[in-house]
Structure 1
Amino acid sequence: MTTRPRTTRLRKLSAGMGFAAAVALATALAPSASAAPADVTVSPSLAGNTITLKVSNNANKRIGCEIFGVKANTSPAASGVVFGYQTPEELGALISPGASKNVPMRVTAGTPPTLTGSTTIPDGTYDIYWGCATITLPPGSAREQFWGTDPPLTNMTPTAAAPIRVSVPGAGPTAPAPESEAPARPTVPGFPNIEIPEQICAPWACYPLPRF
């Protein structure tokens, strides 16, 4: 069972890049309903030149998402899309209520470009725009809700004020800081290979020795 692609309210960016055939976002012509911003959230994780977005759905309906990245501080035009993700036209690809899904970012590929290329994102700093909407079956049977930035979908009320800024390559696991080494002890005069101990001990106590 598959969902229908959006035919009317696709963002202009998506249509301009030939994404429409792959989009599984919401229902055509259904008016959008107000959405609580915390019901759907996204958070990025980076490992080297790969970017993954975790989409968490706390809404009461299944959702599909469209995500794309452009060079930082540039207009989010179709010609500038470097990478992204779109929910495939498969019911199993939707994110169920109360569930989370990690979606990989892929570079654009082909003519017209689609988001099916490599997961290795070119070096650079990017702004990620995202949009997720409820999916109702049959289409048009309920009001649609939307979460995300503006764009990617038009005629929607955004719930995120700004895109997500990321830099590639991303930081991997933080390397442990090198252990500081204590300064070397002075040596016994005439015996350069013998260090003076930090303390000298008798059966009843130990006494520190100064550095000369």
Structure 2
Amino acid sequence: MSIRVRMVTAGLAVCAAAAFGAAHTPAAQAAPTDVTATASVSGNTVTLTVTNNAAKRIGCEIVGVPAGGAPTNVVFGYQTPEELGALITAGSSKSLPLRISQGTPPAPTGTTTIPDGAYDIYWGCTNITLPPGTGAAEEFWGTNPPLTGATPTVAEPIRVTVPGGAATPPAPKPDAPAAPGLPAIPGLPNIPGLPEIQLPAEICTTSSCLPVG
């Protein structure tokens, strides 16, 4: 079964061709905690995990831009494919891999290897009512952009740094100080594979110490 997923109205040139259409039903006021998003970075791979606590399936649009830059300068992102299985069902979470934007117009279909740098992630999700046209009010969650025709539920984008998640190598340990040379016992052969028998520099009793050698 395939569906036409109406994407969030992005207002971004790179996403305009695949954006959610304008709503034909009244928009409901969304509860901010119904849909939330968290980002994770492992090396040069960036993933946005979306948690759907709303009562309906949702589809999402995500864009990543250089930190502090214009949100139209999209480097990578994600857009829910037009198929039922790609939607995030009520009461579930889904980790969405972010991909490099490519093509004309650009779409997030490239590699998941994100170039090094700091990025701001903007995201938006809307509930998808099946079958379409049932008159259910549309709800929106996320930042502005990509939500341009609805009240955003999140004020700021998510800042990430790539690469990330790499383990810090342990600091090298200082070399152990070399032990001072000790005299060998004269007359004993040096057996290959065994350490040379050595004596301490002096032998001490309870009352005095005598040098060896």
Q: Shorter chain as normaliser: what TM range? A: 0.7 to 0.9
Match of 2:14 in 1: 17
Instruction: Give 1:191 shift.
Output: 2.4
- Once residues 173 and 183 of structure 1 are traced to their aligned partners in structure 2, the CA distance between those partners, rounded to angstroms, is 26
Q: Per-residue displacement from partner, 1:114-146 (whole Å, max 9, x unpaired)?
A: 110111111111110000111102224201111
Q: Is residue 105 of structure 1 aligned with residue 86 of structure 2?
A: no
Match of 1:69 in 2: 64
Query: For the structure 1 residues 172 and 30, does the alpha-carbon distance in structure 2 shift closer, same or farther, using more than 3 Å as the test?
Result: farther
Cα contact 2:5–2:128 (8 A) shared by 1: no
Number of equivalenced pairs: 186
Q: Per-residue displacement from partner, 1:74-93 (whole Å, max 9, x unpaired)?
A: 1212xx11100000000110
Instruction: Give 1:19 shift.
Output: 4.9
2:2 alignment partner AA: T
Structure having the higher Rg: 2
Match of 2:35 in 1: 40
- Once residues 172 and 100 of structure 1 are traced to their aligned partners in structure 2, the CA distance between those partners, rounded to angstroms, is 25
TM-score of the two chains, using structure 2 as the length reference = 0.76
Instruction: Give 1:42 shift.
Output: 1.0
Identity of aligned residues (%): 56
TM-score of the two chains, using structure 1 as the length reference = 0.76
The unaligned stretches of length 5 or more in structure 2 are: 184-197, 202-213
Match of 1:165 in 2: 159
Q: Is residue 149 of structure 1 aligned with residue 146 of structure 2?
A: no
Instruction: Give 1:26 shift.
Output: 8.0
Instruction: Give 1:4 shift.
Output: 2.6
The unaligned stretches of length 5 or more in structure 1 are: 197-212
Q: Is residue 125 of structure 1 aligned with residue 125 of structure 2?
A: no
Query: For the structure 1 residues 146 and 17, does the alpha-carbon distance in structure 2 shift closer, same or farther, using more than 3 Å as the test?
Result: same
1:161 alignment partner AA: A
